[in-house]
Each structure stands twice: as structure tokens, then as C-alpha cells.
Structure 1
Amino acid sequence: MAPDHPASPDHPAFTLPTTGPDPLPWDTALAAVLGYVRGRRPLRYRSPTEREGRWVQVAAFGHDRFDARPVPAGPLGEDDVLVAEGLHGRLDPAGWAAVRDGLDEAQSTTDALVARAAGRALWELPEDELSVLGEPGTVGAHLRALAGLPEPQPRYVLAALHHRHPRLVPLLSRATWLQSVPHVREGDSSVAAVVHRELRADDAAFAALETATTDLLGRELSRLRLHDLLVYLAGTLRLTTAVALGEQTEEWLRWHSARMPVARDVQAHLHVPRAGPGR
């Protein structure tokens, strides 16, 4: 269940089947994203040269290790493996070699995918692009081919590609896949069609969240990434933690303070005088 925020007077709630049966209040989603980006947790650290350790604050989630990294230039390569490790964890030598080979294998499919999208974001594509009825050569077909690479390649390859194309290539993890696959419909090319459908259904809420997070954080997180965060946090039962961390951030306090005059105006407009005696 999502943390209990009142409905925002300014923005609609999210109705995302992949996060659960209940609407997700817009304010809750904003706090969760801020917590994912800015949240910190204590870690006891002791270097080999120290007799006693000390407490340090480290990132609670993967934003700094993944989203904040520079975007590699040129053909897919080793820098892209490092980016993907920031999200999904370190690979052993055999896994590293497999993912590196997977990036080489994915290059031509990625080029075809980007060409097919023609500068459009995933949510801007027509439904046929994520339907088997439109295949072959569709965006959905290319994404399914990338997700069909042998393990451990798919998660890492798609993370690397999302980092380069954050408006087009959805991320994939076991948690988000499990949240999404029950909502696949007949004719869908893959779980990417579920993401596409939810982004379009909640277009206004995602557009507002994308704008708000960009303004508050000073950098853009695409609504495709925002969708992934909400599904991941809900599916791994980390949503409450992320919201609590987000509500402690300077960005949340700044946003909430800016909203207060609006909230007071709404309350004044809706104020109904109490009935007099005898009523």
C-alpha cells in the first residue's frame, strides 16, 4: 500500500496497475522520486589503515551510481558495462565478458530501434509499434530481441541502452518484470507494451512529475525512468522508505513551501460556514 498522502489539488493521482490496485497519489510519487535521488543511509566504514571505523552517509538507492553517470560516446563498449553495473551490481569476469559481447551483438538492433523511433519517445509512439500485429521491424520487436539475449545480458544491455536513450528504451529487472507481466495483453510485443500503455494513460500526471523533478533537481529524469522507479519501489516494498527519505529533502521542503499559498487558497474557496443553532 502506498504511503497516505492527501490527493493533490493540482495533479491527478497515478493509476498504474503495475504498482498495485490503488491509485498512487501524485505527492507520494514526487516524494518517492526525491527519496530515490537524494536519500542517504548510514554505513559503518573502516579502512585497512584504521583501528576503528566511523559512520558515513551513502546513497540509499542507485541514482548516483547510474543516472548521474556521464553518457558514454561512440559505439557501445566498456564504459556502458560500467554504467549498467551501477544499476544492477558488479559482474564477475565471465559475466563482464558476456555483457560486453552482448553490447556488440546489440549494436545493430539498437541502431535499427533508434532509426525506427525517429526521435520519438516511447510514449509518443502509436500502439502498433508495441503490437505483434505491426511486426516485423517495429520498436516493440527490437526491444523484445534485446530482452531475449542470454543471461546475464538483457538487464545490463538494456540499462546501458536506457542510459543512452532514456526516453526510448525501458529498463528491465526481475522486480519490474514480475510487476508488469500479469498485465500483458494479447497482441502485446512484450512488457514494454505495458509500460507504453501506462505512460499514455497517465500522461498528464507523468508530464507534471517530469517537470517538477527537473525543476527541483536541476536535471531531467525522463518519465520512462520515473515509471520504472515507481514500479520498482512498489514491487520491492521500498516505496515507504523512499517517501520517508524524500520528505526529508531540501527539494521537498522547497516544493511544499511553494504549494502552501495554493493550498490555503483552495481551502478558503471550499470553506463552508458552520450551520447556526438548531440546524
Structure 2
Amino acid sequence: MVTGPPLSLPSAGPEPISWDTALAAVLGYARGRRALWFRSPGSPEGRWVRVTAFGYERFDCRPRVAGPLGDDDVLVAEGLHGRLDPAGWAAVRSALDEVGPLAEAVAVRADGRAFWELPPGELSVLEEPGTVGAGLRAVDRHGPGRHRDHLSAALHHRRPDLVPLVSSTTRRQLLSHVEEGDSGLEAVVHRELRANAEAFGALETVASGLLTATGGVPLTRLRLHDVLVWLSGSLRLAHAVAVGTQSPEWTTLRA
């Protein structure tokens, strides 16, 4: 079986995550299902159906939209964080209009480099202004209150190799590891990606290969980091691992 080094992610917990555990968790996140009792006008008696347990198919597998940020980006974000009420929709949609130029400036500054390829200075206040970190912090300031998770998801989906995906759960986990000189919590993500470059490179290659072979989409190491931190912080890691070890991809890999 293909393997790799463990991942030391302080934002996910004090103990390193073994490579096998990380891969199983990612597969579980992508393939996990849960039972739901479903009733409809055509089937009022109801029946059990199995729906996706996590956001991979509802979010990551959604096609990326080209052009200016707009309504489709809000729909994509809802696939991960749930439906918005009319006021919430309007707030996120307005925020996308405001951050469009800021997000574009971040991409220009990155100059084709992935987030984990950026030098540490791009996520340090010591080299501001104009850095990627400063740009991401400016984007975050436009987050519409309790709906800023949706804004982060929309922007990450557009640039999954550059813009970190941060939710209320992972934000709390990352903030406690911010160090003096960091431009924001994105610096924590950057530091952990660079410290575990070999492990994330292997995980990105193997997981994406398995998922795309069965009709899925690849996941960048930036998204893989978010998945592992979120599963750990939401106490779902053990469940995702259990589901992942029962997936067809895991069976294929072991064979």
C-alpha cells in the first residue's frame, strides 16, 4: 500500500496524524453517506435515502464559474454551508461585489504561485503592504458577519490553490496558533503546509488520483489541510476514517 510521512498539524491537535489516517479521512469526507427519512408529494409514505454526509460532492465537485463573482458563487457556497435566507443571500452577494477587486489583486500578487509555494514573507506583516497576506486580510474584513463562512467558501472555490477556506470551526482552531508577525490566521495554514510539504504532496497525489479515477475531482493540498483541521475540530475525524476505510478507493489502494 502507498504510504507517506505523518502530518504534524498543531491546529488539528497535539498528536501527528498518520498518513494512512489522513488518507482514510479524506476518502471518508469524499464518499461518506448518511441515512435520511424522505417524504415528498409523490411519496407521502416516506422512504429511506442515503445522502452525502459531507461537502465534497455538493461543493468541491461543483464546476468552477468563470467571469466576475456572482450568483453562482453564492450557490456553490450554500452547497458547503447551507441555504441562506434572503437577507443572508443579499449580504453575501453584496460582499462578493466588494471583494472582487481585492481577490483579483491577491491573484496578481501571487503571480501564478500556489499558496504553499509563496515565501513566508507574503504572510508576514513585516513585508507589508501589498503582500498576499495583507490582501487576504482585507478580503476577510468584508465578510458579512455571521455569513462570512459563505464568502470564504465562494472565494476558495474560485481559486482552490490560492485562497484558504476558513469556517467558524477552523477559524477558532487557527487563531490560537497565530504568532507575532503573522499577517493573519492564513499564516498558520501556510506554515503548516510548508512544514509538511512532503506529506501533503503525497496525500494530494494519491487522494486526487483515487478520487478522479471514480469520477470525482482532485483536491489541492490547501483544501486537504482544511478538511483535516475541520474534521478534527468538529470531532468527525474518527467517523470519516471509519467510512474511508470502507470506501472502494481504499480497497483499490490496498489491493
Distance 1:40 1:88 in 2: 17
Find runs of 4+ consecutive structure 1 residues off by over 3 angstroms.
none
Distance 1:9 1:85 in 2: 35
Q: What are the ranges of 5 or more consecutive residues in structure 2 without an aligned counterpart? A: none
* Within-5 A mapping of 1:64-213: 64-149=57-142, 150-213=144-207
Kept in 1, the 8 Å contact 2:2–2:253? The answer is no
In our comparison, the structure showing a higher alpha carbon Rg is: 1
Kept in 2, the 8 Å contact 1:84–1:159? The answer is yes
Q: Deviations over 1:93-126 (max 9, x none)?
A: 0110111110000011011000000000111001
- Structure 1 residue corresponding to 2:37, chosen from 39, 44, 48: 44
Aligned to 1:34: 27
Distance 2:2 2:33 in 1: 30
Kept in 2, the 8 Å contact 1:233–1:239? The answer is yes
Kept in 1, the 8 Å contact 2:29–2:56? The answer is yes
Higher relative contact order (CA 8 A, sep 6+): 2
- RMSD across aligned positions (CA): 1.2
Counterpart of 2:168, as a letter, is R
Counterpart of 2:196, as a letter, is D
Aligned to 1:23: 16
Aligned to 1:225: 223
Give the alignment's TM-score, normalised by structure 1. 0.87
Kept in 2, the 8 Å contact 1:14–1:25? The answer is yes
Distance 2:3 2:155 in 1: 34
Distance 2:3 2:27 in 1: 18
Aligned to 1:249: 247
Kept in 2, the 8 Å contact 1:40–1:59? The answer is yes
Counterpart of 2:141, as a letter, is G
Distance 1:216 1:195 in 2: 25
Q: Deviations over 1:10-40 (max 9, x none)?
A: 4110110011001100000000000000111
Distance 2:2 2:207 in 1: 18
**Structure 1 counterpart SS, 2:56:** coil
Deviates most, 39-48 or 182-191: 39-48
Kept in 2, the 8 Å contact 1:140–1:189? The answer is yes
Give the alignment's TM-score, normalised by structure 2. 0.95
Distance 2:135 2:157 in 1: 17
Distance 2:228 2:44 in 1: 41
**Structure 2 counterpart SS, 1:104:** helix
Deviation at 1:153, TM superposition (A): 4.6
Kept in 2, the 8 Å contact 1:148–1:154? The answer is no
Q: What are the ranges of 5 or more consecutive residues in structure 1 without an aligned counterpart? A: 1-7, 258-279
Q: Deviations over 1:135-179 (max 9, x none)?
A: 111100011111112314532222111111000000111110111
Distance 1:236 1:158 in 2: 18
Counterpart of 1:167, as a letter, is D
Aligned to 1:238: 236
1:214 aligned onto 2:208: yes
Once the two structures are aligned, what percentage of the paired residues are identical?
61
Distance 2:15 2:208 in 1: 26
Distance 2:37 2:19 in 1: 35
Deviation at 1:50, TM superposition (A): 2.3
Deviation at 1:52, TM superposition (A): 1.4
